[in-house]
Amino acid sequence: MAWLINHHTGAARIVAWIGILAIIILSVVPAADRPVTGAGQLLEHFTAFAIVGGAFAIGYRLSLMHLLFLAVLFCAGIELLQIPLPTRHARVSDFLIDAAGAFLAILCVFVTEVSCMFVRPGPDKTPVPKVSDERRFFDLRFQGGLFRGSSV
């Protein structure tokens, strides 16, 4: 799984930006012109934002907090963009579903990256960082990662 995350950042970036563009376009077109999958509005919103959030988390090596903050800004921006449009409406429920989808995908990528840094050697099953990943874990946690700016 770590191989997929580490070796497909370019493709993930393309998917992320195409997804951003698609969400923006589908958010501003009249409601009657927007395609509907039949899966329901909540699932459509959740899935679209999860795909984009996951793609950004894979494509860009930003800290967890940065990714979550950017997801909140994007979700809020999309809803605010719909306020002046006569055929669209901004809803807090849409914002919450959008943010939940993005958050879940970002957290899944983050947990996968961190968990793939460890191996379980020997019979005691004690997690030990792989030598090649020690620097990545240090960068993730202390220099630009989850606890950026903290003294932890």
Could you tell me the pTM of the whole model?
0.74
Same-domain check for residues 125 and 112: no
**Residue-level pLDDT at 54:** 95
Same-domain check for residues 69 and 133: no
Convert 2-23 to b/e letters by CB count within 10 Å (16 or more is b).
Answer: eeebeeeeeebeebbeebeeeb
- Residue 87: domain span: 2-116
Same-domain check for residues 111 and 80: yes
Cα 78 to Cα 74: distance, rounded to the nearest angstrom: 6
Closest residue by Cα to residue 59 from 18, 98, 118? 18
Same-domain check for residues 46 and 63: yes
66-117 confidence digits (pLDDT tens): 999 999 999 999 999 999 888 888 889 999 999 999 999 999 999 888 777 6
DSSP assigned state of 143: I
Which two structure tokens, joined as six digits, stand for 124? 């005691």
Same-domain check for residues 75 and 128: no
